[in-house]
Amino acid sequence: MSVLLKLTNVAVFVGDTCLLEPISLELKQGQPLTILGQTGSGKSLLAQAIMGLLPDTLSFQGDIEVFGKALTLEQRQALWGRDLVMLPQEPWHALDPLMKGINQVAEVYQHVQGKSQNDAQASAQQDLLDVGLADSAHKRPGQLSGGMAQRLAISAATAGGAHVILADEPTKGLDVSRRDGIVRLLQSRSIEGSLLTITHDVAIARQLGGSLLVMKQGRLVEQGDALDVLTNPQNHYTRELIAAEPKSWPDVSVALANKTTETVLVAENLAIERGGRTLFENVSFSINKGEVVGVVGDSGCGKSSLGDALLGLLPVSAGLVTRSNHTAKPYQWLKLYQDPPSAFTSSVSLGTLLKDLVDLHNIAQERIVPLMTRLNLPESILQRTCLDVSGGELQRFAILRALLLDPVFLFADEPTSRLDPITAKDVTNLLVELARETGCAVLMVSHDPDLVRKTCDTVITL
């Protein structure tokens, strides 16, 4: 088994601060290597260092051997495409939005491999057939779904003939059902070489097998055979990561005993149309006080539209939404957003935003501190703007703002999909707990069926 890539004490610095502590690893032929860790753990820096893509502000130490030879930065860059390739995060952003899919792949054959135009087209056609995109070969990336775009990006990236593939969060933003396909495709592409995957998703690490490195804040905390590490984790952090997978969460929904029968909202025969396409029809359900209702389905099936329609943010094309609670004010029907930073204005500090809310609705000051403690929000975040606060803190701040208004209904639109697994678990549990305590009904949309099954009382599948 030949060693394709060997790193000896590779470290990354910004000025004098160490972002990635010295790390050594070997990537062997046919044995995939997975690096697991949360955002900010330095995983992506490592991939950039290997490729020679580090920004100029960062400096780098250590030796990198590719195919048994120590190579300089320029020599490594010469290997791009032909021998060594990296799939950037969210590869579909790397596609040309104006070019037909097949041409993007053919271009690589023509200019990197030096094939004639006809040969290149034929090879590209074959590639797309292999990944199941033959029918969509002449579509532009904007017309493809996330998973299809990802397959196209992988085809284009590997068309240069590279067998050593570095994949940085290859399944970010994809539905669970699409995820497995992408992982299989990556495996088949790297069969003659090897695959180095960077991910925060324990399920991917398990699926890929091979060896596994677990990283936390720029430090290696555990390494070994993937299955060994995942079934028998030694490090506290690894255990936490595994426990944060929705699959292994404790069942919260059964803990609910004092269910009330007071309905908050009734939806009858709902149908929603967007852009001339019917997303769903004949959906009926009712939500009780303090109940957590989950909505699952693949992306594009109208999960988020359903929630928006219940809040009156989108028109329904048929059916009826009835709010049974007539005493509640309009501002007690609220929404939690998917991407926390986009749900706040960055023009003022969070403290000012909170003060605005307190002043508007005459909220008692003494309610704030206990709730902030409960949500594990430090006082200091009030001085910062939403750009300087982590996603998890911001989402908890959003929950704080919502709860201060005593909501009767909260629509949580994938509230944790942009968060790290450990943070996601904390935030979801807090949200569900607090909603039950305050008797607020929650509609929780998620693309992860496990998450919904573990936390919700009722599940609607679209």
313 binds another protein (CB under 8 A): yes
Choose which of 342, 376, 383, 461 interacts with another protein (CB under 8 A).
Answer: 342
Choose which of 9, 117, 192, 331 interacts with another protein (CB under 8 A).
Answer: 331
C-beta of 144 vs 381, nearer to another protein: 381
Q: At closest approach, how far in Å is the CB of 56 from another protein?
A: 22
361 binds another protein (CB under 8 A): yes
Q: At closest approach, how far in Å is the CB of 298 from another protein?
A: 22
Choose the stretch contacting another protein; rule: CB under 8 A; options: 267-275, 333-341, 426-434, 443-451. Answer: 333-341
Sign of the dihedral through C-alpha 124, 126, 132, 137: positive
Choose which of 92, 109, 237, 344 interacts with another protein (CB under 8 A).
Answer: 344
Q: At closest approach, how far in Å is the CB of 418 from another protein?
A: 12
311 binds another protein (CB under 8 A): yes
Q: At closest approach, how far in Å is the CB of 331 from another protein?
A: 4
State the angle between helix axes of 350-361 and 391-404 in degrees (0 to 180), rounded to the nearest 10.
10
Q: At closest approach, how far in Å is the CB of 344 from another protein?
A: 6
Q: At closest approach, how far in Å is the CB of 342 from another protein?
A: 5
Q: Which of residues 141-170 bind another protein (CB under 8 A)?
A: none
C-beta of 261 vs 347, nearer to another protein: 347
Site string for another protein, 268-297 (x = CB under 8 A): ------------------------------
SS (H, E, C) 324-346: CCCCCCHHHEEEECCCHHHHCCC
C-beta of 140 vs 355, nearer to another protein: 355
Q: At closest approach, how far in Å is the CB of 180 from another protein?
A: 31
Choose which of 18, 73, 357, 363 interacts with another protein (CB under 8 A).
Answer: 357
Q: At closest approach, how far in Å is the CB of 163 from another protein?
A: 43
Choose the stretch contacting another protein; rule: CB under 8 A; options: 31-39, 128-136, 233-241, 328-336. Answer: 328-336
Rounded CA gap, 79 and 222, in Å? Answer: 30
Choose the stretch contacting another protein; rule: CB under 8 A; options: 5-13, 43-51, 135-143, 341-349. Answer: 341-349
Query: Six-digit token pair at 63?
Result: 């030796």
Q: At closest approach, how far in Å is the CB of 1 from another protein?
A: 50
Rounded CA gap, 216 and 42, in Å? Answer: 8
Choose which of 135, 356, 379, 437 interacts with another protein (CB under 8 A).
Answer: 356
C-beta of 17 vs 365, nearer to another protein: 365
345 binds another protein (CB under 8 A): yes
Query: Six-digit token pair at 397?
Result: 């701040």
343 binds another protein (CB under 8 A): yes
315 binds another protein (CB under 8 A): no
Alpha carbons within 13 A on the beta-carbon side of 294: 21
Rounded CA gap, 268 and 282, in Å? Answer: 7
C-beta of 70 vs 348, nearer to another protein: 348
C-beta of 244 vs 353, nearer to another protein: 353
Q: At closest approach, how far in Å is the CB of 198 from another protein?
A: 29
Q: At closest approach, how far in Å is the CB of 353 from another protein?
A: 8
Q: At closest approach, how far in Å is the CB of 455 from another protein?
A: 23
Q: How many residues does the chain have?
A: 462
Query: Six-digit token pair at 358?
Result: 């307190």
347 binds another protein (CB under 8 A): yes
Total of residues contacting another protein (CB under 8 A): 25
- Within 10 Å of residue 166's Cβ, how many Cβ atoms? 28
Cα of 93 vs its chain's centroid, Å: 15
Q: Which of residues 389-428 bind another protein (CB under 8 A)?
A: 398, 401, 405
Interface positions with another protein (CB under 8 A): 311, 313, 329-331, 333-335, 337, 339, 342-348, 353, 356-357, 360-361, 398, 401, 405
